[in-house]
């Protein structure tokens, strides 16, 4: 973290590294997405989901060419949400000595960065796409999953395997990340249908590998989901488009205080809506 002695009014500082480093374990989904960033050129992003049709045939000797069968191309879009906060301290507070803090404004910038990352974690999971009066909101990962891949019911061994099996049937089970809160992870351990394989570090937070009938599944604890949801995805089909990189802009001095404006505009795109599956636990 830089200190306030480096601040120049009106200057911008790229704080992407600060956003990556803070709250790695508390906000693992955003930390993961920071490794999947792509440059956006507008606040609305578009992509095409391509489905390969069952168009191949067995041809008779000397037969005519089969009729052309068009693959399904589904247009998709999402908005990029603006996340912002302002770090402000009075000159009195800045020049006073706080125990363990030698620069209060730099400390405030770090705290506001954490707040932005918490909000991004929530919206990138639970958000709903919309635009009204200049305000963009982004569709979270749960809203972009294909309806057939949204599983509800009691969490049983068979139900969990069926959920992961949907990725297998869609042909995207070569890599599977499961984001789940700790209590659901404990329930899954007790089901006994997954076999622990290894524990590793992934982008600065803990990841546990388990063996299932549908391949290796990597579990990452994610508390923003609450206590009744988890989702699994293939990381090759997700990206984080960024229009405004996360930056700090030093505001002009206003009276007896100093301020730094923090901002980014970003979203999450699930490039294939069948490359993820969600599970919501409901009681009978």
pLDDT tier at 190, thresholds 50, 70, 90: confident
Q: Are 170 and 275 in contact (CB under 8 A)?
A: yes
Q: Over 70: is that where the pLDDT of 13 sits?
A: no
Using one digit for the tens of pLDDT, what is the confidence trace for 90-130? 888 777 776 666 778 888 888 899 999 999 999 999 999 99
Among 17-21, 36-40, 186-190, the minimum mean pLDDT is found in 17-21
Of residues 195 and 143, which shows the higher confidence score?
143
CA distance 267 to 245: 12
Which pLDDT score, from 0 to 100, does residue 282 have? Answer: 87
Task: Judge whether residue 277 has pLDDT over 90.
Answer: yes
- For the chain, what percent of residues have pLDDT higher than 70? 85
For residue 256, what pLDDT is reported? 84
Greatest mean pLDDT among 41-50, 119-128, 164-173 lies in 119-128
C-alpha radius of gyration, the chain, whole number: 23
Q: For residue 30, is it left (φ>0), alpha (ψ between -120 and 50) or beta?
A: alpha
| pLDDT band of 75, cuts 50, 70, 90 | confident
211 vs 201, residue with greater confidence: 211
Are 45 and 105 a contacting pair, CB within 8 Å?
no
Q: How far apart are the first and last CA of the chain?
A: 50
Q: What is the pLDDT of residues 203-233, one digit of tens each?
A: 666 778 877 788 788 889 999 999 899 999 9
CB 20 within 8 A of CB 34: yes
40 vs 74: which has the higher pLDDT:
40
Report which of 157, 142, 164, 149 is spatially closest to residue 222, judged by C-alpha positions.
142
Band of residue 4 on the pLDDT scale cut at 50, 70, 90:
low
In DSSP terms, 89 is beta-bridged to 258
pLDDT at 3: 59
Torsion angle, CA of 21/23/28/31, rounded to 10 degrees?
-30
């Amino acid at each position: 973290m830089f200190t306030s002695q480096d601040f120049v009014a009106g200057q911008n500082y790229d704080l992407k590294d600060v956003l990556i480093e803070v709250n790695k374990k508390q906000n693992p989904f955003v930390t993961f997405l920071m490794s999947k960033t792509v440059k956006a050129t507008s606040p609305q992003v578009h992509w095409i989901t391509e489905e390969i049709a069952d168009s191949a045939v067995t041809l008779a000797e000397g037969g005519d060419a089969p009729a052309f069968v068009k693959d399904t191309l589904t247009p998709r879009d999402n908005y990029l949400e603006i996340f912002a906060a302002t770090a402000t301290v009075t000159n009195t507070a800045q020049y006073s000595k706080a125990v363990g803090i030698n620069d209060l404004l730099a400390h405030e910038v770090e705290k506001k960065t954490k707040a932005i990352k918490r909000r991004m974690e929530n919206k990138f999971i639970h958000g709903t796409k919309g635009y009204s009066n200049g305000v963009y909101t982004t569709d979270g990962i749960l809203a972009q999953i294909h309806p057939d891949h949204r599983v509800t019911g009691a969490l049983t061994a068979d139900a969990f395997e069926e959920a992961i099996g949907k990725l297998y049937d869609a042909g995207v089970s070569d890599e599977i990340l499961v984001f789940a809160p700790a209590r659901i992870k404990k329930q899954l351990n007790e089901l006994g249908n997954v076999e622990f394989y290894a524990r590793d570090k992934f982008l600065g937070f803990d990841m546990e590998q388990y063996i299932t009938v549908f391949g290796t599944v990597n579990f990452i604890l994610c508390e923003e989901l609450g206590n009744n949801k988890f989702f699994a995805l293939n990381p090759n089909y997700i990206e984080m488009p960024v229009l405004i990189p996360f930056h700090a802009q030093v505001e002009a001095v206003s009276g007896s205080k100093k301020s730094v404006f923090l901002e980014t505009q970003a979203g999450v795109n699930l490039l294939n809506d069948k490359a993820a599956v969600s599970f919501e636990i409901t009681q009978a």
